Amino acid sequence: MKPLNEYNQRILLQKDEIDAAVRSMGQRILEDYADEPLTLIGCLKGSFIFMADLVRAIHRPLHIDFIEVSSYGNDLSSSGNVRVIKDFKHPVQDSHVLIVEDIVDTGLTFDFLFEHIWLKKPRSLEIAALLVRNSVDLEERSVKYHGFTIGDEYVVGYGLDAAGLYRNLNHVAVFEK
């Protein structure tokens, strides 16, 4: 039984488990891309802490940019309608691109980001997600790097929010409504 945090929420992933997963993901990325040009595009806002840790686990020069999309509004379920709030700026024609997402849930954001960034003609396009729901069909949506697979519980912390709150938790906790 995992401990509860200060908000009485069940801790799903402790900070040290997350750190270890992010470090090993960084190492794999370092090996996979050798010294080819690489750009990481973080999907805001949920990826901001994961992105900050991941880029520091990839010990080589790389470009960092962000895109902000919205599909959830203030609700806890996807509206099914993804739109760009802030687009990324870095030209990616000569670079491999890795999209950095907090969680692949329904996969709608994944699909949208793939199409949107692919139009800018990167050398290659892949996704690194901290979390993937076990309902995601990984044959259909290939997530090249992921930290953890989780069930259908709504989670907060380490960048993920519930109505804008709890992003600043060090761990990932199950949010009890």
Angle at 89 between CA 131 and CA 60, to 5 degrees: 60
Please give the residues from 5 up to 64 whose contact with ligand IMP meets the rule CB under 6 A.
43, 46
CA separation for the pair 78, 6 (Å, rounded): 27
Q: One symbol per residue from 111 to 150: x for binding ligand IMP (CB under 6 A), - otherwise; what is it?
A: ----------------------------------------
Q: Does 107 bind ligand IMP (CB under 6 A)?
A: yes
Return the structure tokens found at 167.
Answer: 């992003």
- Report the C-alpha gap between 170 and 75 in whole angstroms: 23
Per CB under 6 A, which region of 20-28, 50-58, 86-94, 105-113 contacts ligand IMP? 105-113
SS3 170: coil
* Piece of the chain touching ligand IMP by CB under 6 A; list 6-14, 23-31, 87-95, 97-105: 97-105
Say which residue the tokens 């699909």 belong to. 111
Q: Which range binds ligand IMP by CB under 6 A, 31-39, 49-57, 137-145, 151-159?
A: 151-159
- For residues 1 and 77, give the distance between their C-alpha atoms in angstroms, rounded to a whole number: 27
* 53 is an active site residue: no
Q: Which one, 78 or 123, has the nearer CB to ligand IMP?
A: 78
Which residues are catalytically annotated?
105
